[in-house]
Amino acid sequence: MNIDFIILAAGKGTRMGGDSPKVLASLAGKPMIQHLIDTVDSFPSSKTSIVVGYKSNEVERDLVSQKKLRFVKQKNQLGTAHAVKQALPIIKKNSVAVVLYGDVPLVKKNTLNKLIKSASRGKLSMLTFIKDDPTGYGRIIRSSKKSVQKIIEHKDASSAQKEIREVNSGILAIKASLLQQFISKIKNNNAAKEYYLTDLVEIANNHSVDVVATLCDPYEVGGANDKKELHELERAYQKKLAEDLLKSGVTIADTSRIDIRGDIKIGQNSFVDINNVFEGNNVLGKNVHIGPNCYISNCSIKDNTIVYANTVLEDSVIGKNCKIGPFARIRGGSELTEGAELGNFVESNRSNIGKNSKAKHLTYLGDARLGTKVNVGAGTITCNYDGKNKHKTIIADGTFIGSNSSLVAPLVLGENAYTGAGSVITKDVPKGKLAVARGKQVNLNKKK
């Protein structure tokens, strides 16, 4: 069976505020319409058309898909039926058409599959939900428990109809041939002077086509028209992600105080304390401990590693049994090997930290490569930037850097070398040598 997804995304979204098209508003770190694209991408033998209008180049630019997206322009936003009409010329006559609204982003694949199945049997199938405050939504008018008579938009509803809390999600499926036939009958004689796609229901009934409306979880088919609704969707989505992690054997200190903006995998018996933000693609191993208030973006953290409070980790790979933080910043493609420790107020940038090497306090490691069992004293700085270029510092196995050393790169410190505390090291230190490069202490007589 061919499936044609039609995603409506031409509106500005005045209620959301701002100049950006509403469908690009961020939900869990990506444009809300992107969630729909990711969902429909996984359907075999399907095509996706997106109806764009307001700031169409921004929408086209920001979306990514495994499939070729077909963008269709709707010059003037004359209503949802008018929007769908723009896509009809490019959809297959023998397909099932599935209409999705770009601001209703969280529908699940399984639910769509059921909808498509029902539409393939010649029905008009749609999804509804119960909303305590249904203001703004189309109300579902049922003639009996099973069948739906029509949809009345909020602006056109009588005060009795406004009491109805079952509302239209906007998501529907119907054979493309029927859609084509019915859509031409939709008029704009309503309060908004728009061509409402919701009029399909009454037209289908008039043509003895069964209308099947399935009540869904509001979380799955709720819309985001304004900041408040978007916030509600975001919180519900985040809670769901956190609960999924709990189910998979991860301990989450508080499911309402974790934000996952992107993809995450966490191994069993790991623990995530409160107020953590995960962005991009993160993979955490088993028995990993993340303390409170960390920001972790595009990182891989292996088994048994502890990240203490208030640590920032970006674009880095952290090996097994490492200890990081509190208050550390690891970034720029750093790589920590098993057992490495970077403690409080340590920053690592584009650096490799070898097995069991340590920098536990107040240190900057930029463009550095540390071998195994290196000990970096408190206050050490790699001076990697001369104002124009970045230079490397190589510190071989077993080297001990005295506290408050300045390592002026480019620099190589051989195996088991030492630097005296407070040294400014500008020349390579051979293997096993102790380099001292600081003013000599003189003890003078005090004036009386």
Pair 271, 285: CB distance under 8 Å = no
Applying CB under 6 A, the span of 99-107, 208-216, 279-287, 421-429 interacting with ligand UD1 comes to 99-107
Pair 305, 286: CB distance under 8 Å = no
Of how many residues is the chain composed?
Answer: 448
Q: Contacts with Ca ion in 212-251 (CB under 5 A)?
A: 223, 225
Distance CA 356, CA 376 (A): 12
How many of the other CB atoms lie within 10 Å of CB of 113? 12
Pair 223, 15: CB distance under 8 Å = no
Nearer to Ca ion, 223 or 371 (CB): 223
Distance CA 74, CA 88 (A): 12
Distance CA 383, CA 370 (A): 15
Provide the minimum distance between the beta carbon of 225 and Ca ion in the complex, in angstroms, as a whole number. 5
Helix (H, G, I), strand (E, B) or coil at 365: strand
Pair 197, 186: CB distance under 8 Å = yes
Please count the residues of this chain forming the interface with ligand UD1, following the rule CB under 6 A. Answer: 31
The 139-158 contact track toward ligand UD1, x by CB under 6 A, reads: ------------x-x-----
The 94-133 contact track toward Ca ion, x by CB under 5 A, reads: ---------x------------------------------
Of 310, 362, 315, nearest to 334 (Cα)?
315
105: contact with ligand UD1 by CB under 6 A: no
31: contact with ligand UD1 by CB under 6 A: no
8: contact with ligand UD1 by CB under 6 A: yes
Provide the minimum distance between the beta carbon of 165 and ligand UD1 in the complex, in angstroms, as a whole number. 12
Provide the minimum distance between the beta carbon of 236 and ligand UD1 in the complex, in angstroms, as a whole number. 15
Could you say which of Ca ion, ligand UD1, none residue 330 binds, taking C-beta under 5 to 8 angstroms by partner kind? none
Pair 438, 422: CB distance under 8 Å = yes
Active site annotation includes 361: yes
Applying CB under 6 A, the span of 2-10, 310-318, 376-384, 433-441 interacting with ligand UD1 comes to 2-10
Catalytic, out of 35, 207, 231, 361:
361
Could you say which of Ca ion, ligand UD1, none residue 169 binds, taking C-beta under 5 to 8 angstroms by partner kind? ligand UD1
Phi and psi at residue 178, to the nearest 5°? -70, -40
Q: Contacts with ligand UD1 in 158-197 (CB under 6 A)?
A: 167-170, 196-197
Nearer to Ca ion, 226 or 428 (CB): 226
DSSP letters spanning 155-201: GG--HHHHT--EEEEEEEEEEHHHHHHHHTT----STT----GGGHH
Nearby residues of 120 by Cβ (< 8 Å), 6 or more positions away? 1, 96, 175
Selected from 78, 324, 330, 401, the binder of ligand UD1 by CB under 6 A is 78
Pair 139, 157: CB distance under 8 Å = yes
Nearer to ligand UD1, 163 or 254 (CB): 163
Nearer to Ca ion, 11 or 366 (CB): 11
Distance CA 204, CA 185 (A): 11
Could you say which of ligand UD1, Ca ion, none residue 423 binds, taking C-beta under 5 to 8 angstroms by partner kind? none
Catalytic site residues?
361
Binding site for ligand UD1 (CB under 6 A): 8-11, 23, 51, 74, 77-80, 82-83, 101-104, 136-138, 151, 153, 167-170, 196-198, 223, 225
